Every structure is written in C-alpha cells, then in structure tokens.
Structure 1
Amino acid sequence: MSSDKPGTAERQAKLGPEEHEENWRRLGEEEFDVVVVGGGITGAGVALDAATRGLRVALVEARDLAAGTSSRSSKLFHGGLRYLEQLEFSLVREALHERELMLNRLAPHLVKPVSFLYPLTHRFWERPYTAAGLLLYDRMGGARSVPGQKHLTRAGAQRMVPALKRDAMIGAVRYYDAQADDARHTMTVARTAARYGAVVRTSTQVVDFVHEADRIAGARLRDVEDGRETEVRAKSVINATGVWTDELQRLSGGRGHFRVRASKGVHVVVPRDRIVADSGMILRTEKSVLFVIPWGNHWIIGTTDTDWYLDLAHPAATKKDIDYILDHVNTVLATPLQHSDIEGVYAGLRPLLAGENDDTSKLSREHAVARVAPGMIAIAGGKYTTYRVMAKDAVDAVSNDVSGRMASSITDRVPLLGADGYHALVNQADQLAAAHGLHPYRVRHLLDRYGSMVHEVLALCDENPELLKPIDDAPNYLKAEVVYAVRNEAALHLEDVLTRRTRISFEYPHRGVDCADQVARLIGAELGWDEQRITSEVEKYSERVRAERESQDQPDDQAADATRGTAPEVRDELVESVG
C-alpha cells in the first residue's frame, strides 16, 4: 500500500524498532484490503503478492518471521524427485519452474545449485529405472540452468564421495537441485513486501476476529511484548499459519474445508570433515528418502517423517529420531557417524493436508485454498519451493472482497531485496574486501546472505569499526550482522538472532550459549536493554538449549515434548491457547 509519507520506500524496507512501533499505530488506524496472519514463507509470499498488485496489506506474526516450519526445513528448492514415483507430475513441473525463477531471477544471492549423488544398489533394473526418472525430471526443467544427470561407475562415485563404503553401491547417478537458508529467504520475502508497502509486524498475535453482520472484518491483535491490544480492519483476512491453520479456524468460528496434519521432520548437523565428499547424497529408506546436504562447513542430514500431535511451536526431536537418521546414513558410510559428532539438531513440522491415507510420507504436498467464512481465506499444504504459487492462488481468492478490478500476480518478475546488482558485486568482491580490510571469502559469504544489501551491513562498520570483527565464539558471523538484524530485519530477541538471522544455534556445538552474552549486549545496545534484561535474554536462551539437548535424549515424543516444554517463552505476553 502507499505510505502516508512521500519518499519512504527505502525506509519501509527496514523492519527496525522505529518501524515496529510505527506499524502498531498503522494497524490500529488504517483499513487494509488484506490482513495476512502468519509470518512463515507462505504468509510472507502472500503479503508480497498482494502488495505488488497494489493492495493495502498488513502481515502479522505472533512470534518471529519464519519462527515455525519455515526455518526448520531441509533448506532445499527442489522439484521433489520422489514425487515422480507418486505420479505427481504437475507438482514436480511447477516446483522446477519455481526453482529456476529463484536461481536466475528472483533470488540468485540466496538460492544456489547443489549436487546430489544417488547410490545404486541393484543390478540390471535400477540404473535404467533411475535414468528414466531423471530424464523426465531434466526434461521438465530439472536441467534448465544446472547440469543434467551424470552416470558414474562404482569407482567414479567413490572418487566423488570417498566417504562411501565400496560395497554400499554398484554405481551412482549425480543430479542437481538448489538450496537456500530458509529463514533468511523468508525474512527477505517479508522485507521485500515491506519495500512495496506492506505493513509487516512480528510479536503481534491474533487473539480474536472482528465480525460485522455475517462476515469477518478484521482481527483483534495483541502485542506479545507488552500486552497492549488493538483492532485491525480489513476487507479480507488470509489465514497462512501452516500447522496452526485449524487452531486459527476454530478461533474465527468458521467451519474448515480441510484439515492440516503436522508431520515432524528432524535434521542433524555434523562437521564437514566427518563425511569426505564433493557432493551431497540422497538415500532411499523404507519410508521415504534421506538427504545428506552440504551446508558451508557442515552437513545437514535428514529427515524423519512422523505424526506430531503435541506442542506446535516447539516440536522436539527424540533419541529415536536421531538414531533413525544415524542408522540409515551409516549404512553407506565407511566411517560411521556417532552421537558425539552431532553439532546441532532441529525439528520442524510440515503442514500436510490431511487425507485418507495415514502414512504422512504419502500425503499430498499440493496446497489448497478455501473461503472458510465470508471475509476469510485459508491456505494450507504445499511445499516451501512453491510458496510463490501458493501466494498467488491465495490472493486470487480475495478478488471478490476488494473493491475494483484486481491486478494479476507479478511476483515472477519482482526480484527479492538484494538480488539487483548481486552478480556484479560478486565480480567486485576482491575490491570490496580490500576497501573494508576483509578477506574476500568473508565478503563472498556476506554477499550470499545479503546480496547487494551488503553495503548497508558494511556501512555500520564505518560508524563503528569494532563491528567488522567476528563474534568471538561464532566467527562465521560479524558483529555487524547482529546490529543489522535489529535495525533492519525485525529481530527483537536474542533467540531471533541466534536461531534465524544467523544459524549459530545449530552450526556450533555450543549451540549459541558461548556467544549469547556478547550477542545479547550488541542487541541490547540497539534496543535499550538494561543489565537485567540482558541477563534474562541469555538465561532464557540457555534454558532453551538445555531443554532441547535433554529432549534429544528422551525415548519418545511425549517425554521429549514434556522436557522441551520446561523452557520459557521469550515473548512474555503470548497467549498460548489461540496459536
């Protein structure tokens, strides 16, 4: 939507403390065409789609951007090779199209090609069967901007992945997909929506809905930092809350047209040197597939696929989940992984459309959009890769609620913040590094996190050269990135920075505890925290890590959930019963 103040487009791209307060005022005073509930990738995508069509848009999120599923995925933009076996051809074709848009036009700074080796274990039939599937994948778009399939002998596969047991395969096939930091990508989509006028506010919980006659006309909002409440008025509300879809539906008083089932996916993170390989791997299991995904100086290995009926905000990994992952990956590794090798663990919930089949790995990854009440649309299901298509379909569904003719979706032509100029800056990385006294590797790392917004990050160091230094116990990140997260990226808590703006919470064995005080002080200087508040943030984060570690030693979901639940919420005024 257009701002009341002229010339504020760049200011709107900021999501800092001043904007956080200003946006609270705007939520209570302005009327919107669309209010989007949920700050995951679907909600952020809906906000961007609606804003770039010229609609007046607000996005509210009870916790943090990408606080749920959208920061805990396999971090892949992929066509879903295994869906070919399930004959979901349209889903695969759609996902591959979206992958190519991200790689080449919308987010080349955030989305990168990644190779996978698929070990073959059966003679005669498996290679032609796999080749046929990958040929179809490549023809659907899988090889449009990345290399197509390559067949390898056993010796060739071992040269590419020396970590593999010689007897674990008879050969292999390599193919390519793409990956991204899901939390950073989601946050960038939300900031891009703000750049085009959307009012984006985190720590803002929907606690009730506003009804006029027989329709929903807005929502009652609670600031979960201080407890104050206001009402936001809108012509349409879009429920994009993922695994909370049913909960928000009950709150609205409407009848749902579909149900959402939560499926838990657990990933473990190990150091890069524990698996000697030049490619990721995809392994078939009795239930689904297991990915071994390169992630900087680490490997991400996952995932599991089990029903989850407990705390939606804090799904907990169990010892059984972790053993499942290690047992399956160790069937092909010459040097088995041990529990002591694990640096980090994270668990997320997939919002699957509930179907007749009880096997969660076979539930459709298609999405559904429904008008669940007059003035209210719900969108659920789908997969991260196709978020932009989901967003388009959700906004199309509100056309009858907004006045005038609504423009068509254009998000396939709207690069995310940081994309413009990225490729030129990659070529200029050495000069940029020299200008700031940094190693070129450091600048390239920043470019792959911020794109052309790297200038904004480095400008902070012109004000304070101390910010050019790495965080003491997490040297992959600069102190400037913490300050930037607060000033520009809507970070309000220590947890927001350590788990989502950076990935310190699973990239270091200490999981962020060792650098928590230093990072909290950098945040506190921006947000005006006193010593008591700094101590409280560090203690709450440390309690979270303790509870997660202990839950990962528990034998089942109930015990793990009870253990994880002992950690306090960082947002004090959150009302748990409404999601």
Structure 2
Amino acid sequence: MTTENIWNAAWREETWRSLADSEWDVVIAGGGITGAGILREASRLNLRALLVEQRDYAWGTSSRSSKLVHGGLRYLKTGQLALTRASVQGREQLLAEGQGLIDPLGFLLAQYEGDGATAGRLVYGAGLTIYDLLALQWSHRYYSPLDFQMMAPYISPTGLRGGFHYQDAQTDDARLVLRVMREAAGDGGTALNYVRAEQLLLDGADRPVGLRLRDILTGRSAEAHARVIINATGAWADNLRVQVGEEARIRPLRGSHLIFPAWRFPLAQAVSFMHPIDGRPVFAFPWEGVTLVGTTDVDCPPPLENDPSITGDEVAYLMAAITAHFPALSLTLSDVVATFAGIRPVIGSGKADPSDESRDHVIWQENGL
C-alpha cells in the first residue's frame, strides 16, 4: 500500500476482494494511535500486517483526547514512578520524531492557600525535579505570586502563593494517528477503515486464527486469517476479549472538555490548578486559536456505540473550576463555543473513585488473542 491510495476507492475495493486469499502475519483490530503504532512497527519488521477500523481512523479516543503529550506528573503523587518514567520517555521520543506535529508546551501550576500550598510546593518541587531528571533536562522553576500573575494575568490573586513553570507537550491527536498510519503504509502495511471486526475465528482449540469482517459501507462480509490477532480497540476491547472466554476488564471513563474563544479566555500558555470541590487537577491552555479546558473523569458505562458527549453535571463541574480561578473574566455558558468528550480505556479494579484507578498500560495475551 502506498501513501497515495490509503483512501482510494479502487484500491479499497481491490484490497477487500483479496482479504480471504491473503496470508497475513498480523491482523489488528482498531484504528486509533495504538493500532496505528502496531501497524507501523509490524510493517517495519517486514510482516504482512492488516489493520481494520470500523469508523474513521482515530474516530474514538485518539481524536477526543486533551491534545496533551504529558509525562505523567500526577502519577508521581501516587508513587507510580515507572509509569511517569515511561510517559516522559515517550514524550521525549515523540518530540524528537514528530517535529511540526508534537510541540513543546509550557505549563504553569498554581499553588493556593487551602490546597496544601506549603507542602504542595515541596511535593511538586520534588516531583518536578524527578520529572526533569527523567527527561534529562532542567526546565521547571518556582515563581512568586506577583511573577506568577504576570505570566497568568487573569488568574485569581486571592490566596495565591505562587506556582511552578514546567514543560510538557501538545499535539493534534487525530493528525498524529494519520501520520503514523501513512508511515505504516509507506513501509508496506495495509489499513481499511469502515470495516468492523465482528467476530473472532477460532480453531479446534478455541484459539483465534482470524477475524470475520463486515464492510460498513456495503454490508458485505469477509474473513481474514493470520498467525497473530491483536485487539487494539481501546475502550471497546472487551467486545473481542469475551469471545475467548475472558471477563470484562475495561472501565470506560469519560473525559470532557469545554472550548472558549481565545479572546474571551486569553492565555499565553497552559495553566493547571486544583478544582475547588475535589482537589483534582484541571487545566486550561491555548490550542488552535481557542482555549481548551478540561477534564472530567467519570464512568461511562456501555454500550459505547454513540458519540460520547458532555453532561450537564460535567459542564457545571468545569465551570465551577473556571469561575473559582479566573473570576475576573466573568465567563458564562454562553461563552462556550464547543464541547467534546473522549473515553479512557482504564483497567478497572473496583475502586469507588474513577480517578483512583491506575493509568498503567497492560498487554494481555489471552488464549491467543
């Protein structure tokens, strides 16, 4: 597959007709960033690799993220050093490989009275030191209240004890997926969208040997056989996992965002602050001519077939944070120009608070899937 014909109708038809007759090394279900990355790496190993996605590439979580490529600073607070290390290393690799698509982003972290500002300075200072050491560069600095306000002039001065500046990164998440997909195509990978992985094909030992596929555009079906079947469907992963007898493990959590015009919510750089209700970190940052505010962390029970959307309670939650920390702007719901929400595929452990669930990454090998 060449990069010119990924979305070519004639090529798509030819590829569909040859699915059953092709000998695939790897078939991947899921066209988000995880599936795209696997396709690229498999193709670079000269494996015959096929990816299928039931909607647009990056339709799910990979186009509805917070647009951040962060190093997992908040994971240090719960002692998840390994996860932070992996996140920082991934961020630095993306910054090196994705120039023009992954950009550095300066973050301001406000410290207020009442949210443990004194202890918070020590804890976050230590955390940011580790953060910088993992990135092999010193970028954080603490600022006095006056200096902090000069960098974030609309933030509330009441109770402000100062804050930190540190570096993370941001991206256009959907474009990142498409770039990786194009790189995979250039290395010989094959990808088809609007093709649903409906059912696993099992051998006599109930091990997956292929997928039954459905063309969403025409309704026709086909089978694709491979030595390895990879489930990279994110929040929808349990749909295939249960077909090999595994229990549902994914806890879908919705993260919702508000978007304001930049002239109503002017920011020169990202600002993070603690929510006045539950102490969760909330952020606001400039992105593509607007200001993006997020995020929530609430359960989003299945089914997940419809587009996720923000609820009234989530809107009120985010507006409460904005009102508390940027009262001078007098922002109201009428200033919101758009909203969006994405689903996090978090591994459930039964914790009452969704935010207490681990954000660690896991690769399962379950009966051949």
Smaller-chain TM-score bracket = over 0.9
Percent of aligned pairs with the same amino acid: 34
CA RMSD of superposed structures (Å): 1.7
Could you tell me whether the CA contact under 8 Å between 1:257 and 1:372 is conserved in 2?
A: no
1:244 CA displacement: 0.8
1:216 CA displacement: 1.7
Identify which of 179, 185, 195 aligns with 2:176: 185
Could you tell me whether the CA contact under 8 Å between 2:195 and 2:213 is conserved in 1?
A: yes
Q: Are residues 1:230 and 2:222 paired?
A: yes
**d(CA) in 2 for partners of 1:234, 1:32:** 5
Corresponding residue for 2:79? 87
CA deviations 1:377-434 (Å, max 9, x no partner) are xxxxxxxxxxxxxxxxxxxxxxxxxxxxxxxxxxxxxxxxxxxxxxxxxxxxxxxxxx
Corresponding residue for 1:519? none
Unaligned runs of 5+ in 2: none
Could you tell me whether the CA contact under 8 Å between 1:15 and 1:191 is conserved in 2?
A: no
Identify which of 40, 46, 53 aligns with 1:54: 46
**CA distance 1:310–1:317, shift in 2 (3 Å):** farther
Could you tell me whether the CA contact under 8 Å between 2:111 and 2:273 is conserved in 1?
A: no
Secondary structure in structure 2 of the residue aligned to 1:317: coil
1:273 CA displacement: 1.5
Identify which of 198, 201, 215 aligns with 1:207: 198
**d(CA) in 1 for partners of 2:42, 2:191:** 13
Identify which of 312, 320, 329 aligns with 2:313: 320
Structure-to-structure mapping, 1:149-298, within 5 angstroms? 149-214=140-205, 215-250=207-242, 253-256=243-246, 259-285=249-275, 286=278, 288-298=280-290
Corresponding residue for 1:118? 109
**d(CA) in 2 for partners of 1:238, 1:361:** 28
Q: Are residues 1:339 and 2:326 paired?
A: no
Could you tell me whether the CA contact under 8 Å between 1:27 and 1:58 is conserved in 2?
A: no
Identify which of 136, 158, 164 aligns with 2:130: 136
Q: What is the number of equivalent residue pairs in this alignment?
A: 361
Corresponding residue for 2:355? 361
1:323 CA displacement: 1.0
CA deviations 1:25-64 (Å, max 9, x no partner) are 2323211011000111111111111111121100001111
More helix by share: 1
**d(CA) in 2 for partners of 1:181, 1:195:** 21
Corresponding residue for 1:443? none
**CA distance 1:68–1:270, shift in 2 (3 Å):** same
**d(CA) in 2 for partners of 1:19, 1:160:** 52
Could you tell me whether the CA contact under 8 Å between 1:205 and 1:222 is conserved in 2?
A: yes
**CA distance 1:52–1:231, shift in 2 (3 Å):** same
Look up the equivalent residue of 1:316 and give its one-letter code.
S
Could you tell me whether the CA contact under 8 Å between 1:84 and 1:92 is conserved in 2?
A: yes
Could you tell me whether the CA contact under 8 Å between 1:257 and 1:370 is conserved in 2?
A: no
**d(CA) in 2 for partners of 1:310, 1:167:** 42
Secondary structure in structure 1 of the residue aligned to 2:78: coil
Could you tell me whether the CA contact under 8 Å between 1:119 and 1:171 is conserved in 2?
A: yes
Corresponding residue for 1:437? none
Q: Are residues 1:108 and 2:102 paired?
A: no
Secondary structure in structure 1 of the residue aligned to 2:365: strand
More strand by share: 2
Look up the equivalent residue of 1:371 and give its one-letter code.
Q
Secondary structure in structure 2 of the residue aligned to 1:49: helix
**d(CA) in 2 for partners of 1:302, 1:58:** 35
Look up the equivalent residue of 1:137 and give its one-letter code.
Y
CA deviations 1:252-273 (Å, max 9, x no partner) are x312266001001101111112
**d(CA) in 2 for partners of 1:254, 1:223:** 23
Corresponding residue for 1:330? 323
**CA distance 1:132–1:371, shift in 2 (3 Å):** closer
**CA distance 1:11–1:125, shift in 2 (3 Å):** closer
CA deviations 1:307-354 (Å, max 9, x no partner) are 111441322211111110011122110223211111110011100001
**CA distance 1:168–1:182, shift in 2 (3 Å):** farther
**d(CA) in 2 for partners of 1:239, 1:113:** 32
**d(CA) in 1 for partners of 2:33, 2:210:** 22
Q: Are residues 1:42 and 2:34 paired?
A: yes
Could you tell me whether the CA contact under 8 Å between 1:264 and 1:307 is conserved in 2?
A: yes
CA deviations 1:439-464 (Å, max 9, x no partner) are xxxxxxxxxxxxxxxxxxxxxxxxxx
Identify which of 11, 14, 18 aligns with 2:10: 18
Identify which of 360, 364, 367 aligns with 1:370: 364
Secondary structure in structure 1 of the residue aligned to 2:310: coil
**d(CA) in 2 for partners of 1:93, 1:81:** 10
Could you tell me whether the CA contact under 8 Å between 2:255 and 2:344 is conserved in 1?
A: yes
**d(CA) in 1 for partners of 2:210, 2:257:** 38
Secondary structure in structure 2 of the residue aligned to 1:91: helix
CA deviations 1:470-510 (Å, max 9, x no partner) are xxxxxxxxxxxxxxxxxxxxxxxxxxxxxxxxxxxxxxxxx
Unaligned runs of 5+ in 1: 1-7, 377-579
1:10 CA displacement: 5.0
**d(CA) in 2 for partners of 1:311, 1:217:** 27
**d(CA) in 2 for partners of 1:140, 1:155:** 30
**CA distance 1:292–1:187, shift in 2 (3 Å):** same
CA deviations 1:175-206 (Å, max 9, x no partner) are 11000011111121122111111110000011
Could you tell me whether the CA contact under 8 Å between 1:315 and 1:348 is conserved in 2?
A: yes
**CA distance 1:10–1:268, shift in 2 (3 Å):** closer
**d(CA) in 1 for partners of 2:332, 2:30:** 38
